[in-house]
């Protein structure tokens, strides 16, 4: 038995025979011709009946493709309107709030004309999309009880083509053509608006699914394996998730008959439910993981990382995606230098890089599209963690010495009110609870018209929550932000999120309401809950334009007293919102060194803090926020993005996106060597790089290469790290110098190795 796609494929393979049959009986109606074709090719269903509807549709397709010529239709096609009751269905009365208390609950299969009219009337009057005519195999149910009709359910044929579903099912075109009937579409699902009963929707779905297979067998002589359904953009599909549906992705917004690539409708969420857990084995399709996972250090070697992080980019053509991968590898090899200094003089790669950047506008290649595959890999790494910290922050990249560059933003002004122009980058870096960077979730460069900085933080927060909804339920996601994000709007926005909490360092000494102290005074009041030690990292003196912007500080262990309490933050800025309940954690340094500024932080979080241990955990999470500033420092000082020469700011945005992913990789390499001792060196280094590390260790009588930690140490020593007894771990600046040196040595080894091989192959 073939499905509708299978019938079309069968007739396409036999167009000459079909055409001859049609030509020999041009006096017949199209329906009669379909019956003859069904007899000719044995197109029957499981009950042995002719597939007239599917065959007529396939013949019309072949006619539209001018492969056959059908006679004109003898009767104008008229679609009958669904039969209605003529009056509303009475409302259900006295429906209990608990589904277990509903009396005489019953799922009624719609078989009679009267039940069909009730079903149609319910849908016509109470379903948002109204009543419709179903296609293909179909089944309808009424939800009945002693209280009255509670709702209705309807199933029809599955969508012919659905990318999210087909990728999840992992079936071939032939398998889809032959087995599409095994998928049914939950086309209509109604719980009447007047019915208020907790968990009724998921309860109804469970009861219907338990009998759906047997009902299909009784009517159509086969059983479905999978149920698909769509949810509009205004809804979350909560009842489907509760019933066991899996979220697969979004539709393309084309509708059923729109041409490919044309989006005319809103994009809907696609969900699927497995009626038969063994359906993959029955259909012979491979098992796929709906939510892939990626270990933190996997695929970061020099010869594979660019393909892993950018190889899935959807840029409209495979050649453009390949060029993106090569461009990412190129900027990593020339980190901090012009791309023209590529060590092996790969001029084709340099020319391709410039063509890719300069022609990106023509093909609609945006920074978001460039970052998309790396974002997906970041989410896959997030799925392996119990806690994920998504750190948001912004930085200004100055291009004031590039007046010829169009589209730059005003990022500040000096004492003479001269405007500084450049690019404002707002980024989200994902970390695990050990501080290992998992990847860059988001980069935004230009504020929308009328948008404030607070809106950028909120957009980033919502983007984090979108990613969080694809993670396991046990994974905690916390968005960490600095003092610039201390705004009531952000706390209010968090209340609308599904999976994400926030942690913000307070900037404003808020008024907590009448007869209450202000926030800072309230937090300082009372005895400390405990004392802990906080490692304060060394910060070097920073100067800009001849003036000191930060006087620096030495590394020290600071003893901090800790307080925590619950507070309610009233709405500010004219917002008519309820107060936000948060946990406040206050840490204050005890007896700071002479001449040093006392450390005092007020942290606000939507995570409930009820113990000293939990308060200490929140403090540790906040201290990891500096990872994003380290990333910006690598981006500016290591990659030297402020030296880029572009004529358009949009091109700068694309290149900076490539460089920030490169910066993430370098930071991860640095930190993996500190926290992971058991990983093999092959995780990061190629064979040529490991060979040169061994040569370097042997020549300078250094510890040999054993694992990833020793490899990272040797690379740091190539960058100037002394490895003395009291030296701190190598920093990012030393690491990028060492990485550049190792790249040069590895390329030289590969070149010389090729020469030696050529010489050895010469005849004597």
Give mean pLDDT in consecutive 10-residue pieces for the chain, a chain of 764 residues: 74 91 90 92 84 88 90 73 88 91 94 93 92 88 95 92 89 87 94 91 93 92 94 84 85 60 70 93 85 85 88 90 93 85 80 92 92 94 95 92 85 74 93 94 80 86 91 92 92 90 94 85 90 78 59 78 93 80 94 85 95 94 91 88 90 95 89 69 80 88 85 86 82 78 79 55 49
Q: Which two tokens stand for residue 711?
A: 């490899």
Q: How many domains does the chain have?
A: 4
Triad 519, 524, 530: Cα angle to 5°: 130
Q: Would 131 be classed as within a structural domain? A: yes
551 and 690 in one domain?
no
- Determine contact, residues 127/140, Cβ cutoff 8 Å: no
Q: Which secondary structure element, helix H or strand E, spans residue 545, and what is its range? A: none
Gyration radius of the chain over CA positions: 32
Q: Please report whether residue 138 resides in a domain.
A: yes
Residues 634 and 710 in one domain: no
Position 92 in a domain:
no
Do residues 726 and 608 both lie within one domain? no
Read off the tokens for 553: 């500080």
> Domain boundary residue among 230, 261, 283?
283
Give ∠ CA 525-606-534 in degrees, rounded to 5: 60
**Tokens, residue 19:** 């055409």
Encode 292-331 in three state secondary structure. Answer: CCCCCCCCCCCCCHHHHHHCCCCCCCHHHHHHHHHHHHHH
- Distance between alpha carbon 201 and the CA centroid of its chain, in Å? 28
Residue 124 and residue 56 share a domain: no
How far is Cα 612 from Cα 103, in angstroms, rounded to an integer? 50
- Tell me the CATH number at 610: 3.90.350.10
Q: What is the CATH number of the domain that holds 138?
A: 3.40.630.30
Nearest Cα residue to 675 out of 702, 703, 712, 625: 712
CA atoms within 13 A on the CB side of 630: 26
- Residues 36 and 28: their CA atoms lie apart, in Å, by 10
Distance CA 660, CA 429 (A): 10
Let me know whether 130 and 219 are in one domain: yes
Report which of 532, 459, 464, 523 is spatially closest to residue 489, judged by C-alpha positions: 459
Same domain, 468 and 554: yes
Domain contains 670: no
> How far is the C-alpha of 649 from the C-alpha of 653, rounded, in Å?
6
Reduced to 3 states, what is the DSSP secondary structure of residue 80? coil
What DSSP element (H or E) covers 424?
Answer: strand 419-432
Assess contact for 475 and 467: CB atoms under 8 A: no
Q: Are strands 500-505 and 530-536 parallel, antiparallel or unpaired?
A: unpaired
Do 506 and 618 sit in the same domain of this protein?
Answer: yes
Query: Same domain for 486 and 389?
Result: yes
Q: Which residue has the tokens 């036999």?
A: 14
188 shares its domain with 273: yes
Running DSSP on this structure, what letter comes out for residue 458?
A: H
- Same-domain pairing of 160 and 17: no
Domain containing 744: what range?
A: 677-759
| Structural domain includes residue 313 | no
CA distances from 617 to 428, 433, 558, 623 (A): 21, 10, 16, 10
Residue 620: strand, helix, or coil:
helix
17 and 149 in a single domain? The answer is no
CATH at residue 696: 1.10.740.10
**Cα–Cα distance, 137 to 144 (Å, whole number):** 23
| Position 30 in a domain | yes
pLDDT at position 744: 77
Residue 419 lies in a domain: yes
Are 392 and 540 members of one domain? Answer: yes
| CB atoms closer than 10 angstroms to residue 459 | 19
Instruction: Decide if 354 is inside a domain.
Output: no
CA-nearest of 154, 155, 150 to 89 is 150
What integer pLDDT is reported at residue 756 of this predicted model?
47
Task: Give the tens place of pLDDT for each residue, 233-264.
Answer: 888 788 888 888 888 888 877 665 444 445 55
Residue 566's pLDDT is 93
H helices of 48-149, in order, are: 52-64, 113-126
């Amino acid at each position: 038995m073939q499905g509708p796609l299978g019938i079309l494929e069968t007739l396409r393979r036999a167009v000459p025979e079909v055409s001859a049959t049609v030509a020999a009986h041009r006096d017949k109606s199209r329906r009669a011709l379909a019956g003859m074709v069904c007899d000719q090719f044995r197109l029957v269903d499981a009950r042995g009946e002719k597939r007239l509807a599917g065959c007529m549709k396939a013949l019309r397709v072949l006619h539209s493709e001018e492969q056959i010529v059908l006679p004109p239709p003898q009767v104008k096609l008229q679609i009958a309107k669904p039969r209605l009751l003529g009056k509303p269905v009475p409302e259900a009365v006295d429906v209990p709030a608990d589904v277990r208390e509903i009396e005489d609950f019953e799922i009624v299969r719609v078989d009679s004309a009267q039940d069909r009219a009730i079903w149609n009337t319910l849908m016509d009057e109470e379903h948002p999309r109204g009543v419709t005519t179903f296609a293909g195999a179909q089944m309808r149910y009424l939800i009945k009880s002693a209280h009255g009709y509670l709702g209705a359910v309807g199933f029809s044929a599955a969508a012919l083509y659905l990318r999210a579903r087909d990728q999840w099912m992992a079936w071939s075109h032939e398998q889809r053509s032959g087995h599409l009937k095994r998928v049914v579409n939950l086309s209509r699902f109604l719980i009447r608006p007047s019915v208020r009963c907790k968990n009724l929707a998921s309860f109804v779905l469970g009861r219907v699914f338990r009998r759906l297979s047997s009902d299909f067998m009784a009517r159509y002589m086969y059983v479905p394996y999978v149920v698909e359904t769509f949810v509009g953009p205004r809804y979350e599909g909560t009842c489907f998730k509760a019933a066991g549906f899996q979220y697969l992705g979004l539709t393309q917004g084309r509708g059923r008959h729109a041409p490919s690539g044309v989006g005319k409708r809103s994009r809907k969420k696609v969900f699927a439910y497995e009626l038969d857990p063994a359906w993959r084995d029955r259909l012979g399709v491979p098992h796929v993981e709906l939510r892939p996972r990626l270990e933190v250090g996997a695929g970061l070697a020099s010869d594979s990382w660019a393909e892993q992080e950018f190889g899935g980019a959807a840029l409209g053509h495979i050649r453009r995606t390949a060029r993106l991968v090569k461009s990412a590898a190129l900027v990593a090899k020339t980190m901090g230098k012009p791309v023209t200094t590529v060590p092996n003089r790969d001029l084709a790669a340099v020319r391709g890089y410039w063509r890719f950047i300069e022609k990106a506008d023509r093909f609609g290649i945006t920074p978001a599209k460039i970052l998309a595959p790396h974002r997906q890999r970041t989410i896959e790494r997030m799925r392996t963690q119990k806690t994920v910290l998504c750190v948001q922050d912004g930085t200004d990249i100055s291009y004031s010495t590039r007046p010829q560059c169009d589209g730059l933003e005003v990022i500040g002004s000096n004492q003479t009110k001269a405007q500084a122009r450049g690019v404002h980058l707002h980024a989200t870096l994902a970390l695990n609870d050990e501080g290992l960077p998992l990847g860059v979730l988001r980069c935004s460069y230009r504020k929308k018209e009328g948008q404030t900085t607070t809106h950028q933080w909120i957009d980033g927060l919502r983007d984090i929550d979108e990613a969080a909804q694809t993670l396991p339920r046990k994974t905690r996601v916390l968005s960490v932000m600095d003092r610039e994000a201390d705004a009531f709007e952000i706390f209010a926005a968090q209340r609308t999120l599904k999976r994400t909490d926030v942690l913000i360092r307070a900037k404003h000494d808020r008024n907590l309401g009448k007869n209450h102290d202000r926030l800072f005074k309230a937090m300082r009041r009372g005895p400390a809950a405990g004392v802990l030690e906080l490692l304060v990292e060394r910060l070097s003196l920073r100067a800009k334009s001849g003036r000191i912007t930060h006087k620096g500080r030495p590394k020290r262990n600071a003893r901090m007293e800790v307080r925590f309490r619950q507070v309610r933050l009233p709405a500010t800025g004219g917002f008519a919102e309820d107060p936000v309940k948060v946990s406040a954690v206050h840490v204050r340094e005890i007896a700071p060194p002479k001449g040093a500024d006392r450390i005092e932080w007020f942290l606000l979080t939507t995570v409930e803090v009820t113990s000293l241990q939990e308060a200490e955990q929140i403090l540790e999470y906040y201290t990891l926020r500096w990872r994003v500033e380290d990333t910006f420092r690598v981006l500016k000082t290591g990659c030297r993005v402020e030296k880029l020469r572009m004529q358009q700011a949009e091109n700068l945005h694309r290149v900076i996106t490539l460089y920030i992913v490169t910066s993430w990789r370098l930071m991860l390499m640095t930190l993996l060597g500190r926290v992971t001792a058991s990983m093999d060196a092959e995780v990061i280094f190629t064979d040529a790089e490991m060979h040169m590390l061994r040569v370097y260790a042997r020549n300078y009588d250094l510890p040999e290469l054993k694992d990833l930690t020793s490899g990272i140490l040797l690379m740091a020593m190539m960058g100037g790290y002394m490895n003395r007894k009291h030296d701190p771990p190598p920093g990012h600046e030393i690491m990028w110098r060492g990485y550049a040196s190792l790249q040069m040595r590895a390329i030289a080894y590969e070149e010389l190795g090729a020469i030696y091989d050529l010489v050895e192959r010469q005849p004597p």
